[in-house]
Amino acid sequence: MSSDLNWQHQDTGLTSGIAPLVQAKDNYDGELCSVARPPQALHLGDREKLSRSALLNRPPSGAHSLSNPGGKSSRTDSNFSIFSLIKRPRRSSTIVNNVEEVVKRRKFILKLSKALLSFGAPSHRIESQLSAASDILDAQAEFVHLPNIIIVSIRNGETRSTRTYFIRSRGRIALSSLHKVHQIYRDVLHDKLGAEAGTDALRNLLRSPAIYSLGWRCFLAFLCASIICGLSFGGSLVDMWVSGACACTLQYLGLNAANKSSMYANVYEISVSIVVAFVARGLSNIPGNIFCYSAISSAGVVVILPGFTVLISALELMSKNIFCGSVRIVYAIIYTLFLGFGLTIGSDFYLVIDRRARRAYYRSSIPENLTYTHGQFLMANGTSPFSSITGVLGQGNALHLGEHVIKGCIRDPLWGWWRQPLPWWALFFLVPIYSVCSSLSNLQYWRSVQLPVMVIFSCFSYAANRAASLVLPGRTDIVSAAGAFVIGSLGNFYSRVVRGTAFTSMVTGVLFLVPSGIAQGGGVTQTYHNSAEQYSSGFSLALRMISVAAGVTIGLFVSQVIVYLFGSRKNAAHFAF
């Protein structure tokens, strides 16, 4: 017997797939603890960690111990409560059935990092997910997450050396693939799948092509922009067709030309915003006010707005990831300025070509039917109050149709139904259709069980957002927080009870909150007459997106805290916003 630890192997009668029980007795405090340790684990180069693992790891469910003979659970029927559906027994944080070599486990960690970056996983959760996987698999790895890159440092206990890997990828959201990645991640960490099999599954997933063709994705962009034009920006039926065509062209250039040419990818957003603004300004100057410039231009570029980037940056700053959050939010603000500048160039370019449109545009700010008064006037306020001036004062109305302007578009009640904004009852079928199209455009498989869940959560979020906007008009942050709280509560509850994927079920509803909040703040494009007004308009758009993202962030975190107050602590990192 050793003076420190007395080791004694006992045969517990378990099957060959379960390791025999190892008992460790500490002579200093006299306590006895038990741990399930597979015999083949002694050949993986970590015999020196056996005593530490025996003292720290918990036995798997069904293992016999001295304190609980027979392996029966200590929970009785008297402990049942209304939260029994949420409070489930914790799983063992030890790999018992699928023990493999440490090299294979580390390969799984590296491939998991690549998959999370490629399919648009929430960046503020990547480090916690990889750290949880490394701890459970005993891979001895540390992680540093930067924008579009993950630095993995793996320690080798035998040779006392460290190897560093740089994993880089610039992907976009792919909901179906992201859901499969999370299923593989959960199966490996819950000891249902081996690390080598998980690596092969992730490799096949990364090599698989997109589930929809280029034509279908352009058609989905057409539907999304058309519906959002009528729902959020007050567009009529004819405006919806034009904005959908602009978004379809934008999607085609982004998926085809921008991917093939790195030079064009740098100016892709500015070029498409110029084209959209040019088309919208040209159509809005057709006599009769058939088309609305604000609705067409706002809905045409809503696909490339950095709303999701601003939201992710706010979540990272809230999670104390200062470096990534600050880099992303500065990029989003500058990107918004470039986007607004592109819209300005497109609009001004058409005004340069069409002189009649330029005169009508600048005359729109001059009052009509002026009444002139000549004499001496006394200023009641200003820098020098009560100072007198002499001259001619003209008074009049800037726009004689001011009472018929809805969300920046002129809507005369005498016009036909196809030139009027959509009625209120159109929301009942357009909101689900937009949710379906938005999910499919983010590469969600149309026959999956997750799709109806996404649509239902998105509809509930939009309903809460709409109700809050009626109660508190003009408060985009509070309105967005209300919608985010609803979808956050539903998504986290769905993850805890149904064991679904919280992040993928919440993405559609969260992305729906961004254009809704921007539309409530005045839309993307606003009237300007000089460069100072133009850049102030761009800054105001960036500030509106930041206010919306701040409200969404608060709502998501509050809902997460409330849901996770009940139930056991998760062994692995939760996959949610």
The predicted-structure confidence for 396-427, as pLDDT tens digits, reads as follows: 655 444 457 777 788 878 888 888 888 888 88
Query: What's the CA gap between 454 and 505, in Å, rounded?
Result: 5
**pLDDT for res 216:** 93
Closest residue by Cα to residue 439 from 458, 465, 419? 458
Q: Where are the domains of the chain?
A: 100-207, 214-361+429-566
Better-predicted residue by pLDDT, 22 or 143? 143
Q: How many CB atoms lie within 10 A of CB 201?
A: 20
- SS3 call for 90: coil
The pLDDT of residue 120:
85
- DSSP, collapsed to helix, strand or coil, labels residue 75 as coil
Closest among 350, 345, 340 to 518, alpha carbons compared: 340
pLDDT at 152: 93
Q: Is the pLDDT of residue 146 over 50?
A: yes
What is the average pLDDT score of the chain? 75
Torsion sign (Cα): 73, 76, 79, 85: positive
Confidence of residue 525 (pLDDT cuts 50, 70, 90): low
Tell me if residue 366 falls in helix, strand or coil: coil
Q: In what order do the strands lie in the sheet with 5-10?
A: 5-10, 21-26, 32-36
> 425 exposed, middle or buried (CB, 10 Å; 0-12, 13-18, 19+)?
exposed
The CA distance from 553 to 221, in Å, is 26
- Given a cut of 60, whether residue 181 has pLDDT beyond it is yes
Is the pLDDT at 137 greater than 70, yes or no? yes
Report residue 158 CA to chain centroid gap: 41
Contact indicator for 112, 185 with CB cutoff of 8 Å = yes
Token pair of 282 as six digits: 């040209």
Residue 305, pLDDT above cutoff 70: yes
Among 342-346, 405-409, 564-568, which stretch is predicted with the lowest mean pLDDT? Answer: 564-568
Cα 21 to Cα 347: distance, rounded to the nearest angstrom: 76
Q: What is the pLDDT of residue 573?
A: 53
Q: Is the pLDDT reported for residue 31 higher than 90?
A: no
Give the residue-averaged pLDDT of 88-102. Answer: 59
Is the pLDDT higher at 16 or at 371? 371
Tokens found for residue 133: 């996987």
What is the pLDDT at residue 449? 86
Say yes or no to pLDDT of 28 above 70: no
pLDDT in tens, 204-260: 999 998 899 999 999 999 999 999 888 888 888 999 999 999 999 988 988 888 778
In the prediction, which pLDDT does 376 show?
Answer: 73
Greater pLDDT, 264 or 23:
264
